Structure 1
Amino acid sequence: MSDPRPIGVFDSGVGGITVLRAIHDLLPGEDLIYLGDTARLPYGTKSAETVVRYATQAANALIARDIKLLVIACNTASAVGTPVLAEKFAPVPVIGVVEPGAEAAIAASSGRHIAVIATEGTVRGGAYPRAIQARAPDAAVVQTPATVFVALAEEGWTDTAPTREAARAYLAPLFAGTNHPDTLVLGCTHFPVLADAIRAELPDGVTLVDSATTTAQAVARVLGDQAAPEGRDGTVRFLATDGPERFARVGQIFFGQPINEGEIEIIDL
C-alpha cells in the first residue's frame, strides 16, 4: 500500500542533489525533502566521530518531518554513518550511496577489475574497496582522488576543455595499458554532472557506474509497494543550515532546474 510520507535526503552540501534528482527522475510521484548541512561542510575533512554526530543531527531533523525513508547522499557520511543511523532510526529504512554503488560496480564488471574516483577523504577512508571486496573478494580495486572535479562541478563546467583536461590527467594513469579496469565508479555525488567529460576520456568498453542512479534504484527497491502511485506529481523541499543564495545558485547545476532561494528553509541543527 502506498505510503504518502516524504523521503528525506541529506548531504553536507549541494552535491547530494544529484542523488535527489535521480530519485525524483525515477520516482516522480514521491515527495522529497533535501537537507544540505552547508554551515559545516565539508564532512570529508572531519573525524569519523564528528561525521557520525553531524549525520545523526541531520537525520534527526528529517525524521522529525515524518519521513518514510532516509537517504545519506554523502559518501563520507555513508561510509561511517549508515550502520549507526540504520540502528538508531529503525524501522525507518536508511540507504547510503556507497553500498548501491559497490553492488552496481560488481554487476557491471565482467573482469572484476574496478576503478573508483572520489574525493580525497573517501579514497583515504577506503569505503568503496571495502564494500566491493566484501561482496567480491576476488575483485581488484584501484582508486584515485579527483578533488578538482568538485570545483569544476560547482562552477557548472560540466563538459569544458578544462574539465576534459582534468579527466585526462586523473584517468590516464588508471587506464594505461591493456590490463586496465573495465568499470569506473563515480564515488562522489558531484561527479555525475561531469559524466560526459569523464566518459569521453575512458577507453572503449569501460562501464561508468553513477552512484546517484544506483542509489535511486535502491530506494525504489526498498519502497516496493509503498511507492507513490503513478500519475502523481511529487513535491521537492529544500532545507539548508547556511547560505541560501549559494545553495540555490550552485544547487540548480545539480538539480537541472532552477531552485528558488526564497523557498529554501534555513534550519539550525
Structure 2
Amino acid sequence: MKEFSDLPIGIIDSGVGGLTVMDELLNRMPNEQFLYIGDDARCPYGNRSPQEVVKFTQELISALNEFGVKMVVIACNTATAFALEHVQPMFNFPIIGVIEPGARTAVKKSVSKQIVVLGTSGTVKSQAYDHAILALSPDACVHGLACPEFVPIVERGVYKLAEADQVVEKTLAPLSSETFDAVILGCTHFPLLSHFIRKHLPAETELITSGSATADTAIHILDELQLHREASTKRISTFYTTGNPAHFALIVKDWLHIADPVVEKLVL
C-alpha cells in the first residue's frame, strides 16, 4: 500500500473557493501532497442545473484519476449537494464532500439550533444542509439565504475591496429580521469574504466554515485505510485551472501564502 499512500490528495472546486478548504488540509496534514483543480472557466456552479454539476464534477474527478490520487475532496458545496452520491461509486478511492462536516460543526456550536445557511442558489435550493442538519438535530430550524453575487466577487479577486463590503451588506440585509446564533458559510468561496460577513452579523454569531471539519473527516479516513504519507521527501502542491493560470496564481499566493505556486492550464 506504500506506493498508493504516496499519491496526492485531490481537491476540486468550481474555482478558487476550495483553497479555503485546502488551507486547512495543508495545516492539518503536513506530510501530504495535494493536487487541486479549479474549474474557473465554468464557474459559478450555483446557477447550473444539477445534471451539469454532476457532469462537471465527474469530469474533474476523472482528470484527477488520470493524474493519480488516493482520495478526493469535493471542496464545493454545490457539487457536494448534487454530485457526491453519483460519483462515489464510480472511482476506487474515497471521495468526501463538505456539507456533512459543516452541518456537524454547526449543530455542535449552535445553542439555540437556529441556523442560517449562506450558499449559492443551487446549494440553497437543494436543501442539502437542511437535510444534513435535521438528520443530526431534528428540532433545529434552518434558514437558507442564497448569495449569488459572492462567488463572482471572489473569482474576480476583489474580495478585500469596499465593493465587496457593499455587496455583502445588501445580501445579508434580509437576516435583520431573523433570529439565529450560527451561520454556515455554505460555499467554500465565502470564507474569503468572512471579514465583511462577520461585520454585518450580530457580534455573538458563530461563523461556521467547513474546512476544519472536512480535514477531520479526511484524516479519519486516512487513519482507517492506513494511507498517510511518510515525510520522506518534500511535499509538493500542484494547481490546475480551466481558466487563467496567472490570475489563479495571484489568489493562491494571497490565500495560501505560497510564494511561487505551480499553476497549469487544464483543458478538459
Query: TM-score, structure 2 length as denominator?
Result: 0.88
Q: Does 1:49 align with 2:51?
A: yes
- Give runs of aligned pairs for residues 1-269 of structure 1, distance below 5 A: 3-90=5-92, 92-176=93-177, 180-224=179-223, 225-229=226-230, 233-258=234-259, 260=261, 263-269=262-268
Give per-residue Cα distances to partners, 1:101-132, cap 9 Å, x unaligned: 11111111121110011122222222211221
Matched residue SS, 2:37: strand
Matched residue SS, 2:17: coil
- Structure 2 spans left out of the alignment, 5+ residues: none
Cα distance change of structure 1 residues 29 and 232 upon mapping to structure 2, 3 Å threshold: farther
Q: 1-side partners of 2:257 and 2:177: how far apart? A: 34
Cα distance change of structure 1 residues 126 and 73 upon mapping to structure 2, 3 Å threshold: same
Q: 2-side partners of 1:259 and 1:175: how far apart? A: 43
The one-letter code matched in structure 2 to 1:168 is: E
The one-letter code matched in structure 2 to 1:125 is: S
Residue 159 of structure 1 and its aligned partner are, at CA, apart by 4.7
- Structure 1 spans left out of the alignment, 5+ residues: none
Residue 207 of structure 1 and its aligned partner are, at CA, apart by 0.8
Matched residue SS, 2:67: coil
Q: 1-side partners of 2:242 and 2:156: how far apart? A: 21
Residue 232 of structure 1 and its aligned partner are, at CA, apart by 6.6
Q: 1-side partners of 2:177 and 2:63: how far apart? A: 46
What fraction of aligned residue pairs are identical, expressed as a percent?
36
Q: Is residue 36–residue 239 contact of structure 2 (8 Å, CA) maintained in 1? A: yes
Give per-residue Cα distances to partners, 1:146-169, cap 9 Å, x unaligned: 223223333444455444443333
Cα distance change of structure 1 residues 267 and 162 upon mapping to structure 2, 3 Å threshold: closer
Q: CA RMSD in A?
A: 2.4
Q: Is residue 20–residue 188 contact of structure 2 (8 Å, CA) maintained in 1? A: yes
